[in-house]
Structure formats: structure tokens, C-alpha cells
Chains A and B, each alone.
Chain A
């Protein structure tokens, strides 16, 4: 089972800033089977990125994913107030699907 660790735990930022969130896997993720989700309070998660760097349908291009092996990142190029949320990474394709603990992004 691949264990995912996310950092930092919480961020407080201003609109217009650029932010990079980290997701580290306990072992190499085959074929970059890594997704990112955004979850706002009271809502279901929303798929942002799959296969480490492919944007899901309808996701603005200010969201981008990168990485390979054990180190992955999600970058939001220009934060907007509505980006306040918890962001989770997820590994898929193995025998056990796992989620990271999440990073909370608060937009002041």
C-alpha cells in the first residue's frame, strides 16, 4: 500500500499569489497514477488533475500538476478567493487506493 504525505498542512495566502502543494509517496507511483482533488466545505471532492499532470474536464488552466516517481505537486498560478479549500492527492491503479491527508488553503 502506498502512503501519501502532503505538505504543508495549512496555508494562508492572498488573491493573486502563486502556490505549490506537495504530495510525497512512500514508494514510486507507477505510470504517474496520481490525482488531485479540491474539496470545499459541505461539498464532494472535485477532480482537478489525473495522471499527475492532466487537467480534468472544465478545470481552469491556472491549476497544473507535475511530478513523477515519489514526488508530485499541484500549482495554482493565480489564487482566487473561491480557491479556498482542502486539496487531496490520491494514488490509483494499485491494489489499494489511497488518499493523502490533505492541505488546507485559506485565501485571506
Chain B
């Protein structure tokens, strides 16, 4: 699986949009981009995934660049409960995930 690079930490003000970047420059054509998050030491939670097109669901939006070498997860109105570690993963068919260190997002009041 391709490797991803994420900033180790980010801060965001409550109520503002949180934009979490991810680089995956060696992604192959059949690999999807997945985002999960982990609140404290709970089990990771699925957020969203995509292949080429931008995706949106009730939790977040995923913007993938045209060359697919990077993506951005957007939490439109961050709340304190969104404080977590966010993982960007690339994988074929969602199996054998490799979770890197992720980005620790702190939402500040």
C-alpha cells in the first residue's frame, strides 16, 4: 500500500472548518483514500473514503486533487467532540489498512 504523510498536529477553533491535509504521492490507480479518526483510546471510527471524485457525507467532505497525490478532509463546523487523531489511509478495497501516526486535531473553545 502507498504511504501517506500527515502533519502531526493541528488546532482549530470551535465552529470553524477544520481542513486536514494528506499527501499520498505514490498512490496507485486502484487505491482508495480513506479517513478514520480515533477519539482518545477508543476504536477508530470510519469517516469517509473516495477514489477520484470529491465526496461528502454527514460527517465530512473529502477533496482529492486531480492528480490524486494529495487530499484534504474537511470538517465543516468543528466541535469539541471532534478532537481526535485523524488517519489518512490508502488501500485497495479497504483491507490490510496501515494506520500511520495520523494528525492530532485539537478543537479549541
Q: Do A and B bind each other?
A: no
